[in-house]
Amino acid sequence: MRQLSASGCVVGDAYEGEFCAGMEAAFTPPYQVQVAPELTKDAWGVWLTSYAPVFTSTGEFEALLAIDMSAASIQQTEQRCLVDILGITALISLLAIVAAIVLSRRVSQSLLMLAQDMANVRHLRLEEEVPVFSRIREISDMASAVHNMKSGLRSFRRYVPADLVGELIRRGLGRGHGHAGDVTATVCPAEAPGAR
């Protein structure tokens, strides 16, 4: 039975359409809600029909309630869901791109600061401290290693003049491919504490 005022159909009119597999299954025990496997077409249009059993107060099967949804309504719902899915996907992609840009900038900024600190070491500017903070373990370990190297060089500089080390670096002797030359160095033993 269908009640569609636009088509002039009223409650009580006989439906002479074909019985689909969903309806036959709904009439077969155990009585359960069934949905037609495909769209059906009749004089009123194209529909997707679902069937729900109706029981008496004693639990006996009494009737079957059929509900039609027009194909146009299904198509509109599918299009609306597709638009929602595309919108959500685009939003998630945009957020992922923004997060990737922010993360890459943080990483590159830490690496640039670390490179600046290493350049200071190269030119023996050991007093200049470049704070490098990063949540990435590898960058944090490199920054710690550079800091320890600078501390070691500052201690070494107490016994070897900085000018001498700078001259060695300029001549390339510290790179393993320098040339022979005369270098005069004087190393004095450290005075013990309390010694005179």
Q: What is the pLDDT along the chain (196 residues), one digit of tens a residue?
A: 444 445 556 666 676 666 677 788 888 888 999 988 888 887 778 888 899 999 999 989 999 888 888 999 999 999 999 999 999 999 999 999 999 999 888 888 888 888 888 887 777 777 777 777 777 788 888 888 888 888 877 777 777 776 776 666 666 655 555 455 565 656 555 555 555 5
Range(s) of the domain holding residue 46: 5-75
Q: Do 13 and 71 reside in the same domain of the chain?
A: yes
Residue 68 in domain: yes
Q: Are 51 and 33 in contact (CB under 8 A)?
A: yes
Last residue of one domain, picked from the residues 38, 56, 75: 75
Whether the Cβ atoms of residue 104 and residue 66 lie closer than 8 Å to each other: no
Residue 26 located in a structural domain: yes
Last residue of a domain, one of 26, 56, 75: 75
Query: Which pLDDT does position 3 carry in this prediction?
Result: 45
Predicted local confidence at residue 179, as pLDDT: 56
Same domain, yes or no: 42 and 90: no
Q: With respect to residue 185, please indicate whether it lies within any of the assigned structural domains.
A: no
Residues 52 and 117 in one domain: no
* Domain assignment present for 182: no
pLDDT number for residue 80 = 95
The full 3-state SS of 91-143, as one line of letters, equals: HHHHHHHHHHHHHHHHHHHHHHHHHHHHHHHHCCCCCCCCCCCCCCHHHHHHH
Classify the C-alpha dihedral 119-124-130-133 as positive or negative.
positive
Shared domain check, 90 and 64:
no
| 191 in any annotated domain | no
Judgement on whether residues 168 and 111 belong to the same structural domain of the protein: yes
Domain contains 162: yes
Last residue of a domain, one of 41, 58, 75: 75
Is the domain of 56 the same as that of 133?
Answer: no
pLDDT the model gives residue 60 = 92
Q: What is the pLDDT of residue 45?
A: 83
Predicted pLDDT at 12? 67
Total domain count, the chain: 2
Give the number of other Cβ atoms within 10 Å of residue 35's Cβ: 14
Residues 119 and 166 in one domain: yes
Do 29 and 113 share a domain, yes or no? Answer: no
Asked if residue 95 and residue 38 are part of one domain, the reply reads: no
What is the structure's pLDDT at 11? Answer: 66
**67-70: which pairs have CB atoms within 8 A and are 24 or more residues apart?**
68/2, 70/45, 70/46
What is the pLDDT, as a whole number, of residue 101? 93
In a domain, 103, yes or no: yes
**49 and 125 co-located in one domain:** no
pLDDT at 96: 96
- Whether residue 179 is contained in a domain is answered as no
23 lies in the same domain as 98: no
